[in-house]
Structure 1
Amino acid sequence: MNSVEKNIPQGVWKLALAGSAAIWGGSFVVIKGALDVVPACWLMFIRFLGASVIVGALFNKTLRRNLDGSHLLAGSILGLLSGTAFLIQNIGLTTITPGRNAFLTATYCVMVPFINWVVAKRRPGGTNLVAAALTILGVGLLSLGDDLSFSLSSGELLTLAAAVLYALHIVAVSHFSAAHDVMTLTVVQLAVSAVVNLVASLALGEVLDVAVLLDPSMWGALFYLVVLSSCVCMVVQNLGQAHVPPAQAALLLSLESVFAVVASVVFYGEVVTPRLALGFASIFVAVVVSEVGGSLAERLRGGGKDA
């Protein structure tokens, strides 16, 4: 931690994390609009390619110092998970609203302890079970039709599948980060994510109208996704979580899904019925219980000190 970071009040870092959550929340609406004119795979390819170039240039010295076979392998695994998750999440977003997509995606936070149980043999705690029950309730409420019949659309199923991949990605990051440089892994991950989406676009036969990319409105969307959502927020998250207690950081970042619904209502015209609102609230509370409860348990096991 350098002297400049030490002089920044913790409240500023908290605002920065909340700002990142707001930007990520708004990205659901931005992506939804962009998907009307750019195929999902091509959009994610452009996003990750741009982000990998920018982040790679910013951390060029770190990259040259640490890049080796081990970092390439670990970063490639992360990129396969992350790239595929974003791919199917955004294919799902083409058929459902941004708010619904955001809250179903947020269920990955609840899945992580159970996947970690399988991988690291670390049993979930009571708060994780409560969070899982609330998540099931929330997904159930979101899946009820107007006639109260239960069904999940293809878009919702794809989004939940993406949430599983995001959870696997989080567990993999935890596993690999202990013995690798995080920023080097990040650059490799972004580059591989771009390749995953390029291969998928070619395999699916998606056609990109290059003329669309020349539209100034598309420049704004790409700037938002590449620079703000992928580059700025990633750096802010990494720095912010180093200065804010884990439980508070988790709570601030979990606001992403709330900001997504607000943006969807304001800019996309999504109508939130009482049933949907209850479903959103149930999933949000589940995320908070899972994240904050898990962080507090870690602190108690570690003697009450913040990481």
Structure 2
Amino acid sequence: MKRYIGEIMLLTTAIIWGSGFAFSAISLDYFTPYQILAVRFTVGVLILSVIFFPRVKRLKKPTIKRGFILGFLLYSAFLLQTVGLQYTTPSKNAFITAINVVIVPFIAFFLDKRKVDKFELAGAFLAIIGIAFLSLELSIAEINMGDLLTFGCAVGFAYQIYYTSKYVKDEDPILLTVVQMGAAALFAWMFVMVKGEIHFALEWKGILSILYLGSFSTALAYCFQTMAQKYTGETKTAIILSTEALWGMIFSIIILNEVLTGRMIIGAALILTAIILAETKPDFLRGKSVEDVRQIK
């Protein structure tokens, strides 16, 4: 039961992140990408600290150390994604970022000597193909600096997912999330200062959009992700979170009036197939007959 609760929380996280694409687009009309990151992580850590203040008072050094590692990985991934976007197209940026879904199982294999589940790996590759249909508009044959930076972002997100699964086994997921958000906010503000982007626009539309990103896409979503990974493996986590692209498409159609295309439908179908494959591990693909399955049951 806990496994299913974890998977529902991860799916909820992906839905929230998907809705965040539309609000990020609105926020970019009023703030720079670096300002958005700084504010969203700050809002996130403030909300979580207030809600879970009694727990925060019990913070210990190991949790702080692990949370800072996650916060560094998280902000580094966002930073590389943001800088990479300046040199490549949004479609390639989104697609290459999503490659983290196939990097995660290999990190677990090389660092923990953990066997790669063939169904989850197949699901991961299917998810990547589906995301390509959803987001990729140009050929990736020509690789530029932006693509390389974005690939670094994908590696960063993959390691963040891997280490979250590793740390959350021995830590309070709420405290781990609080420290992670606090560390990411610290790194984000340091970068804002270096860039000299200390002047913020005070327009209600921009403020409300960035508050949504901070409260839902950051505080709630990352809290759900960390809690869920206590019960869900990192590869399946990455596959479920990859549906962010699918939900981003849905919310872009609803909020930004984007036109639904046949390519989007194919991409959505592939992503859903990837989740079903990783979740159910169909018996007919294991080489068992229907009669064998009945006898086993």
- Alignment TM class, shorter chain as reference: 0.7 to 0.9
Is contact 1:39-1:206 (8 Å) kept? no
Report the counterpart of residue 209 of structure 1 in structure 2. Answer: 199
Q: Secondary structure at the match of 1:220?
A: helix
2:16 aligns with one of 23, 39, 42: 23
Report the counterpart of residue 260 of structure 1 in structure 2. Answer: 248
Amino acid aligned to 1:288: I
Report deviation, 1:181: 2.1
Q: Secondary structure at the match of 2:57?
A: helix
Report the counterpart of residue 160 of structure 1 in structure 2. Answer: 151
Q: Is 1:226 aligned to 2:219, yes or no?
A: no
Is contact 1:110-1:290 (8 Å) kept? no
Is contact 1:110-1:131 (8 Å) kept? no
Distance 1:91 1:291, change over 3 A: farther
- Structure 2 spans left out of the alignment, 5+ residues: 284-297
Amino acid aligned to 1:216: W
- Give the TM-score normalised by structure 1: 0.72
Q: Is 1:108 aligned to 2:95, yes or no?
A: no
Distance 1:254 1:83, change over 3 A: same
Report the counterpart of residue 151 of structure 1 in structure 2. Answer: 142
Report deviation, 1:162: 1.7
- Report the Cα distance in structure 2 between the residues aligned to 1:216 and 1:74, rounded to whole angstroms: 36
Is contact 2:105-2:235 (8 Å) kept? no
Report deviation, 1:127: 2.2
- Report the Cα distance in structure 2 between the residues aligned to 1:36 and 1:208, rounded to whole angstroms: 16
Report the counterpart of residue 275 of structure 2 in structure 1. Answer: 288
Q: Is 1:73 aligned to 2:65, yes or no?
A: yes
- Report the Cα distance in structure 2 between the residues aligned to 1:245 and 1:79, rounded to whole angstroms: 20
- Report the Cα distance in structure 1 between the residues aligned to 2:233 and 2:164, rounded to whole angstroms: 19
Q: How does 1:42-81 map to 2 (within 5 A)?
A: 42-65=35-58, 67-81=59-73
Percent of pairs with identical residues: 28
Is contact 2:173-2:226 (8 Å) kept? no
- Report the Cα distance in structure 2 between the residues aligned to 1:245 and 1:137, rounded to whole angstroms: 22
Q: Is 1:197 aligned to 2:188, yes or no?
A: yes
Report deviation, 1:225: 0.6
Amino acid aligned to 2:244: E
Is contact 1:144-1:151 (8 Å) kept? no
Moved more, 216-225 or 246-255: 246-255
Is contact 1:30-1:221 (8 Å) kept? yes
Number of residue pairs aligned between Structure 1 and Structure 2: 278
* Per-residue Cα deviation, 1:135-169 (whole angstroms, up to 9, x for no partner): 66557766563xx6733565554443322111101
Is contact 1:138-1:281 (8 Å) kept? yes
Amino acid aligned to 1:230: T
Report deviation, 1:262: 2.1
Report deviation, 1:90: 3.6
Report deviation, 1:105: 3.4
Is contact 2:101-2:239 (8 Å) kept? no
Distance 1:246 1:132, change over 3 A: closer
- Report the Cα distance in structure 2 between the residues aligned to 1:129 and 1:29, rounded to whole angstroms: 30
- Structure 1 spans left out of the alignment, 5+ residues: 1-5, 297-307
* Per-residue Cα deviation, 1:40-99 (whole angstroms, up to 9, x for no partner): 12211111111111101211111212x1221121111111001111222244456644x7
- Report the Cα distance in structure 1 between the residues aligned to 2:159 and 2:233, rounded to whole angstroms: 24
- Report the Cα distance in structure 1 between the residues aligned to 2:264 and 2:230, rounded to whole angstroms: 35
- Report the Cα distance in structure 1 between the residues aligned to 2:261 and 2:39, rounded to whole angstroms: 35
CA RMSD of aligned residues (A): 4.0
